A and B are shown apart, each in its own frame.
Chain A
Amino acid sequence: MDLSSINWVLLIASLMVASTPILLAALGELVVERAGVLNLGVEGMMIVGAVTGFAAGLETQSATLGFAAAAVGGAALSLLFGVLTQVLMSNQVATGLALTLFGLGLSALIGQGYIGIRGVEVPEVNWGPLGDIPVLGTILFRHDAMVYLSLLLCAAIWYFLQHSRAGLILRAVGESAEAAHALGYKVVRIRLAAIAFGGACAGLGGAYISLVRVPQWTEGMTAGAGWIALALVVFAAWRPGRLLLGAYLFGGLTVLQLNLQAAGVAIPVEYLSMSPYILTILVLVVMSSGRARAALGAPAALGKSFHAAA
């Protein structure tokens, strides 16, 4: 065993990059679920974001426009889910799964002409002298803007949910749609807005894979990241702070196991691959046992359709 060949500073830096896609997607899904909607189509929205982001970035030669297009693409697809489940009252689980399958097919169709092409360059943010600080500079100040945006977004969502009136209303809708409706809040509209936000975040997460992490377009390239994001929301007990921790833990496990292998450490790869899911199950078991149950924090109206009866 030779751990000295692992550069731990670089490992932490690449851990942040590897975690950003699931962090972005999970942040969006967290807001959606806090509004009482379960959208299982994260994977589909991510892959559509990946292809629209890559295509738009390439055509305009601007990474910013690429990410913007990815957010729009993800949001557009999520609104399809929104209309079906909120207006036409279809089953959320079935519609979400269909959205994933649809997104995978649609992205393959859109991406036909973009396979194997090099994408647009995404520049690192220039922090000037800060980037030269030993250790910290490499870990914190040598990333692209999306890494910082995802951290800002995490803080913003925490503030929004805990300390703003609009966040309170959104949570009310997620806890009891009927009560919120009785108070005069537009449940369907609020949920549609949350769904669109979730789609935009998933789109950004997908585009981060196709524009930064890989960077190129190939069919099916998200390869299950959307499902990890879904598990992550549960793991985090619907709290943004824990979500950040969980995302870096999940992403870190992947990067760590690859690094350990490269260093020649004999580790059972299968166990590390399934560890995010095992952790999620463990957290669920611990949290839902006995008195701690109240702390689980799942929105009470999660996954329930709401129809304003006349």
Chain B
Amino acid sequence: MFRRSFLASAALALALGSAANAQDDPTKVGFVYVGPIGDGGWTFTHNEGRLAVEEAFGDDVETIFQESVPEGADAERAMTQMALSGVDIVFATSFGYMDQIIAVAEKFPDVRFEHATGYKRADNVSTYSARFYEGRAVQGHIAGSMTESNVIGYIASYPIPEVIRGINSAYIHAKKANPDVEFRVVWVYTWFDPAKEADAATALIEQGADVILQHTDSTAPLAAAAEAGNVIGFGQASDMADFKPAPRVSSILDIWGPYYVDRVQAVKDGTWGSVDTWHGIGDGMVGIGEITDAVPADVAAEAMALKESIAAGEYHPFTGPLNMQDGSVWLADGEVADDGTLLGMNFYVEGLSGDIPQ
């Protein structure tokens, strides 16, 4: 609360300051973050995107941001405040802001809104997201190739399509690399709770997992892996480079900077329009962090080849033949999953055990 009101008054001071020299007229860009910048994961990477915008445009742009804005009514207040302070474009970086964005966007038709991971659009509202499941495919390949116990632990956050896609993609490619592989999924119902993530990792390791995949934001699972020894893991959202070369053997990177720069440029050029963007490795929105020496050279080379073929569009991580968990056919041989199914994915593929909590 203290920090938020401090930032709010800072934002107000910035707004007053910019009103004084409005003739210079830099493009004003607002960012709404769901967590603290210091989370080392999701919000951290969006802030890196903001810094990329500042670097690309220098004095021609002015950015403001608000951290730890709760999803729900408070987000509406935060975005209204930003709109009133004269921003040209707002990037709202959490799924749960969706209805608030639509409401605020109606009131401020001259302000453009960009909503990360949402699906509701309007004339002045765009949506954007990244195909993280492409990165999960590469991760799954490394995990399947490296495991010796054939047990891979997966720390999942919430049972939503985004997370389920990741589990399926990782499993499919781990299984290809190692037919004996088995996934143990633990749902922790949080994006960020280091103590709980550490406990989940420990529970998985105690039950024989020697690879830990995570869809939560903190580095706690890597710390638990480091303590256990002989267990590997991956950076999530950001590189988590402090745990190189092991347990962090690679990572999935969220790279928002180029997209943000593009969209701000579009505002400057007057070409901004409402779009729906879903970019992957090929477009540079998803990156694979350095694969360390802890991974055997041939596995690393295979992983890079997989990454390249996905980037070039030659290979789609969800290519048939693939069955659903109950054995019914999902994709025939050579068939590729369509985006609609992927966006609403609520089922496991064949081979995964357990149920998705409803």
Contact = CB atoms under 8 A, between A and B. Distances in A.
A63 B300 CA distance: 38
A273 B189 CA distance: 9
Interface residues of A, number: 45
A18 B354 contact: no
B196 interface: yes
A116 B40 contact: yes
A273 B200 CA distance: 14
Contacts of A215: 223, 227
B207 interface: yes
B2 A6 contact: no
Contact of A262 (B190, B203, B240, B357): B203
A218 B207 contact: no
B224 to A, nearest CB: 8
Interface stretch (B180-188, B257-265, B307-315): B180-188
A103 to B, nearest CB: 10
A225 interface: yes
Interface in B336-358: 353-355, 357
A152 interface: no
Interface stretch (A176-184, A252-260, A297-305): A252-260
A218 B189 contact: no
A109 B37 CA distance: 12
B187 A118 contact: no
B195 A223 contact: yes
Contacts of A5: 207-208
B218 A264 contact: no
Contacts of A128: none
Contact of A255 (B36, B39, B153, B203): B203
Interface in B150-195: 153, 184-190, 192-195
A223 B2 contact: no
Interface string A213-250: 11110111111110000000000000000000000000
Q: Which of B35, B196, B199 has the most CB of A within 10 A?
A: B199
A263 B207 contact: yes
B242 interface: yes
Say whether chain A's binding surface is mostly helix, strand, loop, or mixed. Answer: helix
Contacts of A223: 190, 192-196
A261 B199 contact: no
A269 B195 contact: no
Contact of B242 (A21, A117, A214): A117
B206 interface: yes
A10 interface: yes
A101 interface: yes
A10 B202 CA distance: 10
A261 B3 contact: no
A112 interface: yes
Range class of the B interface residue count: 35 or more
A102 B4 CA distance: 12
A10 B206 contact: yes
B206 A259 contact: yes
B250 interface: no
Given A101-B2, A102-B2, A218 B40 contact: yes
Given A220-B36, A223-B194, A258 B199 contact: yes
A11 interface: yes
A14 interface: yes
Interface string A109-134: 10110011110000000000000000
B182 to A, nearest CB: 9
A188 B169 CA distance: 62
Contacts of B219: 116, 216, 218
A259 B200 CA distance: 8
Given A117-B242, A213-B195, A223-B196, A105 B223 contact: no
Contacts of B354: 264, 266
Contacts of A102: 2
A216 B198 CA distance: 11
A121 to B, nearest CB: 10
Contacts of A11: 203, 206
B142 interface: no
Contacts of A270: 189
Contacts of B353: 264
A266 B189 contact: no
B285 interface: no
B273 interface: no
Given A218-B219, A269-B187, A115 B199 contact: no
Contacts of B224: 214
Given A118-B223, A219-B39, A223-B196, 14 more contacts: A6-B206, A101-B1, A115-B40, A116-B40, A209-B195, A218-B40, A220-B36, A221-B194, A254-B196, A258-B199, A259-B206, A259-B207, A261-B186, A262-B184
Q: Top 7 closest A-B pairs, CB basis?
A: A258-B203, A223-B193, A105-B2, A219-B36, A261-B186, A221-B194, A219-B38
11 contacts: A10-B206, A102-B2, A118-B226, A214-B198, A214-B218, A216-B194, A221-B193, A221-B194, A223-B192, A261-B185, A264-B184
Interface of A: 5-7, 10-11, 14, 18, 21, 101-102, 105, 108-109, 111-112, 115-118, 209, 213-216, 218-225, 254-255, 258-259, 261-264, 266, 268-270, 273
